[in-house]
């Protein structure tokens, strides 16, 4: 297998501020990146990506013609670009602004300003995501794992399923809320449930409580993958009996280790 390194990465940097673009480009160069194309707007970025297919898109949140979240949504809705790795660099802290980015499968969200080690860690995560299809991530004991994925975001479901596929998990059923998940748990046996927290109809906490208290599969491992940041709500989820909580964004290695730990 060809080993891909940070030096091999082709990066499109979408940043309308010339000063910020120079600062981020210098930091990327210091981290070992040599192929950087700077773009000033979302439409420029989409056009460039269609023509050149970079390995990674790094974007600011606020662009002249759209937000970074809208840019990511546009990439995810384009069949030729939907698998592009995406990183957001922004001083934005609003949950309402950042949550759609997390849900769409971003590999990292960095603050402005960020530390060199934060950028290095994000680039390593991006590299892992980019090479998912080449990596020998599959765990033999996971091949026969029957897994239920529950998330109301189609993009998030697709992202999670890609990660699970890379781990060798292919027996996957996906639904968009807890109520549908309850129906599936009543009719089929599962070895693992991977669920979001914030969902319509029935959220992840209610689903966890149902499985633990009312289903015939009360001992099934439940991994919650969520962007929820409220410690009180997460504490309630833990009390409900969730087996593990993984933040969005996440990387394949983290999910693999958590699943193996849950099964052990």
Q: Domain check: are 125 and 145 in the same one?
A: no
Count of domains in the chain?
2
Beta bridge partners of 172: 147
Q: Point out the domain boundary residue: 130, 162, 185.
A: 130
Reported as a single tens digit per residue, the pLDDT across 166-194 is 888 999 999 999 999 999 999 999 999 99
50 within a domain of the structure (yes/no): yes
Q: Domain check: are 81 and 150 in the same one?
A: no
CA–CA gap between residue 147 and residue 154 (Å, rounded): 17
Ranges under pLDDT 50 in the chain = 1-2, 134-136
pLDDT number for residue 144: 85
Residue 128 to residues 15, 40, 51, 176, 252, Cα–Cα distance (Å): 24, 27, 24, 27, 7
pLDDT number for residue 1: 41
Q: Point out the domain boundary residue: 130, 155, 173.
A: 130
71 within a domain of the structure (yes/no): yes
Reported as a single tens digit per residue, the pLDDT across 79-124 is 999 989 999 999 999 988 998 898 888 889 999 989 999 999 989 8
Which token pair is 167?
């781990």
Q: Domain check: are 45 and 76 in the same one?
A: yes
Beta bridge partners of 86: 57
pLDDT number for residue 206: 94
pLDDT number for residue 222: 95
197 within a domain of the structure (yes/no): yes
Q: Domain check: are 93 and 124 in the same one?
A: yes
Q: Domain check: are 165 and 257 in the same one?
A: yes
pLDDT number for residue 216: 93
pLDDT number for residue 140: 60
Q: Domain check: are 146 and 254 in the same one?
A: yes
Enumerate residues 6+ apart whose C-beta is below 8 A from 98: 88, 90, 92, 109, 227
pLDDT number for residue 38: 98
Nearest C-alpha neighbor of 84 from the set 135, 46, 28, 29:
46
175 within a domain of the structure (yes/no): yes
Is the separation of the CB atoms in 81 and 50 below 8 Å?
yes
- Does an H or E element contain 11, and which? strand 10-14
Q: Domain check: are 17 and 121 in the same one?
A: yes
CATH code, 209: 3.40.50.2300
Domain hosting residue 257, numbered range: 140-263
Q: Domain check: are 69 and 159 in the same one?
A: no
pLDDT number for residue 137: 55
Q: Domain check: are 50 and 88 in the same one?
A: yes
104 within a domain of the structure (yes/no): yes
1 within a domain of the structure (yes/no): no
pLDDT number for residue 138: 58
Q: Point out the domain boundary residue: 105, 130, 155.
A: 130
Beta bridge partners of 12: 37, 57
135 within a domain of the structure (yes/no): no
Q: Domain check: are 46 and 101 in the same one?
A: yes
Q: Domain check: are 145 and 220 in the same one?
A: yes
102 within a domain of the structure (yes/no): yes
Q: Domain check: are 16 and 100 in the same one?
A: yes
CA-CA-CA-CA dihedral for 81, 83, 89, 90, to nearest 10: 80
């Amino acid at each position: 297998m060809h080993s891909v390194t940070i030096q091999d990465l082709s990066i499109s940097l979408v940043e309308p501020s010339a000063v910020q673009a120079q600062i981020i480009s210098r930091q990327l160069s210091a981290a070992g990146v040599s192929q950087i194309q700077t773009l000033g707007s979302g439409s420029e970025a989409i056009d460039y990506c269609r023509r050149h297919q970079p390995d990674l898109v790094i974007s600011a949140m606020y662009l002249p013609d759209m937000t970074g979240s809208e840019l990511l949504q546009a990439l995810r809705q384009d069949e030729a670009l939907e698998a592009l790795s995406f990183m957001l660099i922004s001083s934005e802290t609003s949950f309402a602004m950042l949550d759609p980015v997390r849900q769409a499968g971003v590999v990292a969200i960095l603050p402005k300003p960020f530390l060199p080690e934060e950028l290095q860690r994000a680039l390593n995560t991006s590299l892992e995501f980019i090479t998912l299809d080449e990596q020998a991530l599959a765990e033999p004991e996971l091949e026969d794992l029957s897994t239920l994925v529950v998330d109301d975001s189609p993009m998030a479901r697709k992202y999670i399923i890609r990660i699970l596929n890379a781990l060798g998990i292919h027996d996957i059923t996906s639904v968009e809320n807890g109520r549908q998940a309850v129906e599936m748990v009543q009719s089929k046996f599962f070895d693992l449930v991977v669920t979001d927290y914030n969902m319509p109809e029935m959220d992840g906490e209610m689903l966890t409580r149902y499985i633990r208290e009312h289903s015939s599969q009360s001992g099934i491992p439940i991994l919650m993958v969520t962007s929820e940041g409220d410690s009180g709500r997460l504490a309630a989820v833990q009390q409900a009996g969730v087996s593990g909580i993984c933040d969005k964004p996440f990387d394949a290695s983290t999910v693999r280790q958590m699943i193996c730990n849950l099964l052990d």
